[in-house]
Structure 1
Amino acid sequence: MICRLINDNNIKKVDLEIISKDIIKPSNPTLQHLRNFSLSIIDQLMYDVYTPLIFFFPNTDKGSVKEVITKRSKYLKETLSQILTQFYPLAGEIKDNSYIDCNDKGAYFVEARVNQMLEDFIRQPDDHKVRELIPETPSTTESSKGNYVMGIQVNIFSCGGIGLSTSFSHKIFDGQTYFMFMKAWAAAVRGSPEIISPSFVASEVFPKTHSLKYSLPSNLMTNEFLSTKRFVFDSTALARLKSKPISGATHGPTRMVATSAVIWKATVNTASALRTFTPQSPHALLSMVNIRKRASPPFANESFGNIVDTADAICFPNSQPDLATLTREVRESLAKKDSNHIETMKGEKGHGTFNEILSTLNHLTSVMDKRDFVFVSSLLNSGMYDLDFGWAKLIWFHYMNAGFTKTVSLHETLKGGGVEARVTMSPDEMDIFECDPELLSYAMVDPSPLQFLR
């Protein structure tokens, strides 16, 4: 499946009609003393991109479709307004890469009708087709400056099923923050007494600065034509991967490490088939790490903002590293993000640590081909399939690349304890990557999400 961040041909794959566009503001105005919400240094460093995600819910209500969708749309708007009073920074505007003006600007909210049955739409989903269901603004190509922090589009299918799509600024959202917000919204929609309250401590622990010498390398982002495919590892394949011995290890790898390693190996093989590597030419896997539970004391799960770090693993393709070697490299890179390391990131003294991290990354990008970096993010164990709006169980979730040159996004499958990896790279690389024999011995390519409903 080929995707492009901007569709130059304006060829629509979805018969979709926009019904309404609204701005949803908090039900109560934000108090004056909360108007200036400071970003943390990690928020400041994040790429200024919007990440699109979408959830698909079937309609199991036996009432008329019109009544069902009218009721659900009304509840979504009302409850969004209510929870924006708790998550008030999301209704503001990011200013000067420094703070959020919590001015109750609101969230952009669109309602659309899709003239197709939900089951037919996701039978063999296409990344480019799914992108037509995300809000027109804020889009992946827009800056957060003066923009909405988030956009939401409720796509209602002919059967009454819903594709709930969101576009959130990465300047304030990491995966944990995103699912905290979605779970709070879902609880409000289904009328649950459960209250999920965000903890706004990140800027105190990781204070902002305007004196960093480096920023994240811009050449790891692209507007080029990209290809995205899904690789699904079932529980049997994962068991085989996790049983592979690793020298010096007392236990097998996690499924995140195991799947990252086998995908990295296929990526290295692909790169080696397309260009020459000298003995000194590296290839890098950059893993986004949620550091909440790695800190001592740990941060609360409800901690709001980007509370993450990047773990870098390096290999040298010329030496033809085997799977065990790459698995060990990934595991060791993650192990370095321990409580001692996190302690060096805290307070104003932590600014020096961030400068070192950025210096290393900028050096790597200056001596390496941008195609030889792979970004990995994981939403494993996030409980995404437990998201409950009181309608029906979520049947599929899709994460879309925000514009990175090469990415791997790891998620759970609906059933069976599997892992779905969404891999994005250039089309010429994907042509080779998707045929990698070792990868295909563990993963299925682009299976229908409907098979997990059986």
Structure 2
Amino acid sequence: MEIKVISREMIKPSKPTSPENKIFNLCIFDILHHDTYSPVILFYPTFTNPNNSLKHSLSETLTIFNPLAGRRKDLVSVACNDEGALYYEATVNTTISDFLSPPKLESLNQLLPCKPCKILPPGELPSLPHLMVQVNTFECGGVAIGVFSLHTIMDANSSAVFLRTWSAICRDQRGDTVPPDFDSAFTLFPPVDFSRLRGGIVTSSTKGIEASCTIRRFVFNEEAMNNLRTLAKDEDDNNGASKKPTRYQVLSSFIAKHMILAYSTKGITSNLVLLLHIMDIRRRRGEPLTTNSMGNLVWPAIIPYEIEDTNNNNISINDFVKITRAKFESINKDFFLRIERDPDFLLSDECGGMLMEGMEKKKPISLMFSSGFNLGFNDLDFGWGKPLWVGFRGGTQETIPNRVIFIETSIGIEAWISMPEEFLAVLEKDEDFLTYASINPTVSC
């Protein structure tokens, strides 16, 4: 299979950015993030693009999302200078049906403008586009739209807001759009003295952290999810009523158990596991934040878990569920109000402890989970209907290992797991794991 780039151009905003909007200020959570590009790939069975509607609608969308057409000014701000977004067009010498039967994960990165999830050198940032798009046309007339956004500016929720706006403008339904809010994140959570920031394990030096990882896609159908939630429910201490965990709680707990067992099977043991969950601040903080508030409005909930014997197959899903639920309940509106009212909290020993400062010296097994639930990627309609499938990245690349992304699909919940190949090979042969999970099933076209 050959994917060939046939054109490359810079798409600029259809109107110049006004003088009062020339600077976009980053919030403290933006600054804490690694400088990487976050990918999403949308597959459609039919691609009709009269008069380059994708380009024209992107240009119009960039007037609304002007930081995406700008360039990094300094550590705490973006120059909205209308330099534009990089736009590629490519051809794929196969049909979309062949590509998705089953999805060719090893070829996904070729549908993207460059390598995903690599940590970018600081010196390159002032010259790099904040948005890159690659439109890949298959022999059958289908298309895969690969979108790269700079993580420093947008988290997954922000990317979804941008894509909803672009797709609505492309299908000429501007009334379906809601203006993005670029102000609230900075207003509520302005930068502090980052030289004294207690970032903990999340912002520790990345030297030596990156490893060669492979992506696997596992699908948990509705029956599997119902069985797992029943298996993991516990008794409420107060009234004895059965308490069923959420889909996220049970699935992250189940996968964490089997990732740990994969490590122990290969002889790598650690009695300390760090479960790192990326939590959306918007829903927990509430107004003035909304789903259209832009930026990296996420907080890392880090849960240490001591395991007595990593070779013991009785690692409890229920334990993971209980501690995850308790941790999530403690990170609420009051917690974020405390950060707003006392920015020095982020410099405190207490915050450093919450973020497991210094814990990397103990060489724990760190597992990172994030969710694409309710973001609407599967509903993005550019005028050709909803996507057949939504992909992220694939192949083998240098990246931070042990990352899991969840996304809803028509056939169940997909878990995209990034691990070193030798450990993923163990997971793929784990009979208990495969009782509930299907490995990279075919997408119906």
Letter in 1 for 2:249: V
Give the whole-Å Cα distance in 1 for the aligned partners of 2:316 and 2:57.
51
CA contact under 8 A between 1:232 and 1:444: conserved in structure 2? Answer: yes
Give 2:413's aligned residue: 419
Which 10-residue stretch deviates more, 258-267 or 219-228?
219-228
Give the whole-Å Cα distance in 2 for the aligned partners of 1:399 and 1:361.
29
CA contact under 8 A between 1:42 and 1:307: conserved in structure 2? Answer: yes
Letter in 2 for 1:168: S
Task: Report percent identity of matched pairs.
Answer: 28
Give the whole-Å Cα distance in 1 for the aligned partners of 2:136 and 2:360.
40
Structure 1 length normalisation: TM-score? 0.87
Structure 2 length normalisation: TM-score? 0.89
Letter in 1 for 2:215: T
Pick the aligned partner of 1:148 from 113, 124, 129: 129
Residue by residue over 1:344-389, the C-alpha shift from the partner in whole angstroms, topping out at 9 and shown as x without a partner, is 2225x234236544553332222224xx111111001212211111
CA contact under 8 A between 1:314 and 1:329: conserved in structure 2? Answer: no
How many angstroms does 1:316 deviate by? 2.1
Give 1:376's aligned residue: 369
Shift in alpha-carbon separation, 1:139–1:151, aligned structure 2, 3 A: farther
Give the whole-Å Cα distance in 1 for the aligned partners of 2:215 and 2:339.
34
CA contact under 8 A between 1:52 and 1:134: conserved in structure 2? Answer: yes
Give the whole-Å Cα distance in 2 for the aligned partners of 1:274 and 1:283.
16
Which 10-residue stretch deviates more, 242-251 or 437-446?
242-251
Give 1:9's aligned residue: none
How many angstroms does 1:400 deviate by? 2.4
How many angstroms does 1:95 deviate by? 2.5
Give the whole-Å Cα distance in 2 for the aligned partners of 1:329 and 1:138.
32
CA contact under 8 A between 1:58 and 1:393: conserved in structure 2? Answer: no
Residue by residue over 1:188-232, the C-alpha shift from the partner in whole angstroms, topping out at 9 and shown as x without a partner, is 000003232101210010001233334402348755321211111
Which 10-residue stretch deviates more, 33-42 or 238-247?
238-247
Give 2:180's aligned residue: 198
Letter in 2 for 1:380: F
CA contact under 8 A between 2:164 and 2:177: conserved in structure 1? Answer: no
How many angstroms does 1:89 deviate by? 0.7
Alignment of 1:215-364 (within 5 A): 215=199, 216-219=203-206, 222-244=209-231, 245-248=233-236, 251-275=243-267, 277=269, 281-297=271-287, 299-319=289-309, 320-347=314-341, 349-353=342-346, 356-358=350-352, 360-364=355-359
Matched, 1:367 2:381: no
CA contact under 8 A between 2:22 and 2:79: conserved in structure 1? Answer: yes
Letter in 1 for 2:106: H
RMSD of the TM alignment (CA)? 2.2
Letter in 2 for 1:48: D
CA contact under 8 A between 2:278 and 2:301: conserved in structure 1? Answer: yes
Shift in alpha-carbon separation, 1:194–1:57, aligned structure 2, 3 A: same
Give the whole-Å Cα distance in 1 for the aligned partners of 2:117 and 2:224.
36
Give the whole-Å Cα distance in 1 for the aligned partners of 2:169 and 2:131.
18
How many angstroms does 1:100 deviate by? 0.4
CA contact under 8 A between 1:54 and 1:163: conserved in structure 2? Answer: yes
Give 1:181's aligned residue: 162
Matched, 1:443 2:437: yes
Shift in alpha-carbon separation, 1:314–1:55, aligned structure 2, 3 A: same
3-state SS of the aligned residue for 1:294?
Answer: helix
3-state SS of the aligned residue for 1:104?
Answer: coil
Alignment of 1:20-35 (within 5 A): 20-35=7-22
Shift in alpha-carbon separation, 1:282–1:166, aligned structure 2, 3 A: same
How many angstroms does 1:330 deviate by? 2.0
Corresponding residue pairs, total: 422
Which 10-residue stretch deviates more, 209-218 or 402-411?
209-218
Matched, 1:400 2:393: yes
CA contact under 8 A between 1:246 and 1:325: conserved in structure 2? Answer: no
Is there any run of 5+ residues in structure 1 with no aligned partner, and where?
1-13, 62-67
Give 1:432's aligned residue: 426
Give the whole-Å Cα distance in 2 for the aligned partners of 1:78 and 1:36.
24
Letter in 2 for 1:394: P
Give the whole-Å Cα distance in 2 for the aligned partners of 1:397 and 1:221.
31
Is there any run of 5+ residues in structure 2 with no aligned partner, and where?
none
Shift in alpha-carbon separation, 1:214–1:127, aligned structure 2, 3 A: farther
Alignment of 1:21-60 (within 5 A): 21-59=8-46
Give 2:74's aligned residue: 96
CA contact under 8 A between 2:29 and 2:298: conserved in structure 1? Answer: yes
3-state SS of the aligned residue for 1:18?
Answer: strand
CA contact under 8 A between 2:212 and 2:399: conserved in structure 1? Answer: no
How many angstroms does 1:286 deviate by? 0.5
Pick the aligned partner of 2:190 from 207, 226, 247: 207
CA contact under 8 A between 2:108 and 2:392: conserved in structure 1? Answer: no
Give the whole-Å Cα distance in 2 for the aligned partners of 1:277 and 1:16.
41
Letter in 1 for 2:15: N
Which 10-residue stretch deviates more, 247-256 or 92-101?
247-256
Shift in alpha-carbon separation, 1:51–1:286, aligned structure 2, 3 A: same
Residue by residue over 1:92-124, the C-alpha shift from the partner in whole angstroms, topping out at 9 and shown as x without a partner, is 112322100111111000011111111111112
Give the whole-Å Cα distance in 1 for the aligned partners of 2:430 and 2:347.
37
Letter in 2 for 1:86: I
CA contact under 8 A between 2:14 and 2:60: conserved in structure 1? Answer: yes
Pick the aligned partner of 1:386 from 369, 379, 398: 379
Which 10-residue stretch deviates more, 178-187 or 351-360?
351-360
Give the whole-Å Cα distance in 2 for the aligned partners of 1:170 and 1:45.
11
Matched, 1:136 2:87: no
Give the whole-Å Cα distance in 1 for the aligned partners of 2:257 and 2:328.
17
